[in-house]
A and B are shown apart, each in its own frame.
Chain A
Amino acid sequence: MSETMTIDRSGRPGGLRQLPELLGILTVAQLKARYRRSFLGFLWSLIMPLFQIVVIGFVFQGLLQHRIPNYTLVFLTALLPWIFFSDAVLTSCPVYLKFRDVVKKIYFPRWALPLSVVFAAAVHFGLSMVILFAIFVVVPVRFTAAFWPLIPLTLMLTTMLAGLSLLFSVLHTYYQDVEYALTAIVRMLLFVTPVMYPTDQIPEAYQYWFLFNPLAAICEGFRSILPGYELPRPEHLVCAAVISVLCLGVGMVVFRRMSPQLPEVL
């Protein structure tokens, strides 16, 4: 028997203009829900990086005797985009399981869920950048005045994360060990990305290839607001941009193929 199927849903809710609102409300809900039951609330997202800085700063500066001037700032500028990355990737995994009841019952643009996770992480990131700039004002450190590269770098990172969140959120719904695997991978990535150390600390022979890691190029790019650091070479940035767009493309394709079955899998 041939499997014919015609579906005509002329009146699906939510015009195009409703979508940004849906995204906004979902993002705010994620942000609120995350800290609702904690005393320090949003402050945690600032305490965590500071805590990391103290510990790692002590290890690198104190124990290993690395002499990197202004290590705290060098570390912090790269740590913030890194936290954005790991936060968005890891919290987007279980998002469909969390909103299981809704996904099973209501038709709505399902991609809005992982994207709202990325946006919530982006809000955190934005706020922590504000803190970073506040530190710049207080700490008497000369910094390069050109901040504009931060905008394309942030866009690249967000694009990459949008794709990855689409990809991992559906994959995780099918195979629930995606989150475990990612936790391990993200932790590993932290060491091959110049977050705790700047690229100029690694042997020169490797430096060039090292920055083809898109995250490395982005993290180093963030450092370019510090004196003595420059934007990675154009080819590194192009590579990061291409991989970001590629992530988005792969994410969208996989999402398209796998998301119609979500309500049945959940």
Chain B
Amino acid sequence: MAESAPVVDIEEMWKRYRRHHDRPARLKDAFLQRVLGRVHQVEETWAVQDFTMRAQPGEVVGLIGPNGCGKTTVLSIVAGVLEPTRGSVRVEGRVCPMLQAGAGFHRDLTGLENIYLSGAILGMRRASIQHKLDDIVQWAGAERWVDTPVRTYSSGMLMRLGFSVAAHMEPDILIVDEILATGDEAFRAKVRRRLRQEARQGRIVLFVSHYMEEVRMLCDRVLWMAEGRVVREGPAEELVEDYTAEGRSLEEQQGGGTR
């Protein structure tokens, strides 16, 4: 646990993606474009617009909204992977993104080797990984298969192990982006308990899910996003109800959106 309380403070943040319609993927194209003076089309999209969020220590904040509304972009910016185009972002504390099943794992290495690999990438010291190794394996229920290469794992096994590594990092800020989809109900309940417990210890949890039931159970507060903007913000119970009611039709309207 950090000495100072974690902070996630985002103010009027904007994020623009440039979608290069024919971004030169090969040198030949880049060269031709330059020589022929052909301008390639760049389509600018504002993935996140005027986003403001302040999370308190001990809070579980949910982000809901249809595909492509900017949830993942927000989380990537908090994680430090992407830079915002405009606005101010203040993140204090160690951020730990929980990855989609198996991301960050090397498929030819064993589960055990991968614990070290992804632990190190997440910023853990070797000694502390070693120290927590048994806990990580046990929590994932992976005793029987940690010594086999990760490529033989089912997506559920990958997710268990991945989540367990991240959960044992003792981060200040946890990012959970739709990773539980492949877990069985027992494991999901276990994860929810874990996340609540993390929050109780003064950490910040940012949670994205399309399972509204889960959002309702877990989150204190929810931000409802659509087309890059926050449309509503409020207690989970209330927003989940309205979202579910509206969700079906909204989802259909937006159908086929990416990211």
Contacts and interface: CB of A to CB of B under 8 A. Distances in A.
Interface string B13-47: 00001000000111110100000000000000000
B91 A105 contact: no
A131 B123 CA distance: 36
A5 interface: yes
A8 interface: yes
A106 B121 CA distance: 8
A8 B27 contact: no
Interface residues of B, number: 51
B142 interface: no
B91 A106 contact: no
A106 B104 CA distance: 9
Interface stretch (A77-85, A133-141, A174-182, A195-203): A174-182
A18 B17 contact: no
Contacts of B133: none
A33 B81 contact: no
B1 interface: no
A106 B120 CA distance: 11
B76 to A, nearest CB: 7
Interface in B98-154: 99-100, 102-104, 106, 108-109, 113, 116-118, 120-126, 149
A3 interface: yes
Instruction: Give the size range of A's interface with the partner.
Output: 35 or more
Contact of A101 (B25, B104, B113, B120): B104
A260 B76 CA distance: 13
B125 A29 contact: no
A11 B125 CA distance: 15
B259 to A, nearest CB: 11
A139 B155 CA distance: 54
Nearest to A37: B108
A65 interface: no
Contacts of B80: 9, 12, 107
Nearest to A107: B80
Interface stretch (B51-59, B82-90, B212-220, B236-244): B82-90
Contact of A175 (B17, B26, B104, B109): B26
The 5 closest A-B pairs by CB, nearest first: A13-B123, A107-B80, A101-B103, A14-B123, A25-B120
20 contacts: A4-B86, A6-B89, A7-B88, A10-B91, A11-B6, A18-B123, A18-B125, A25-B126, A26-B117, A32-B109, A33-B109, A36-B109, A101-B100, A102-B104, A102-B118, A103-B81, A106-B121, A175-B24, A175-B25, A178-B27
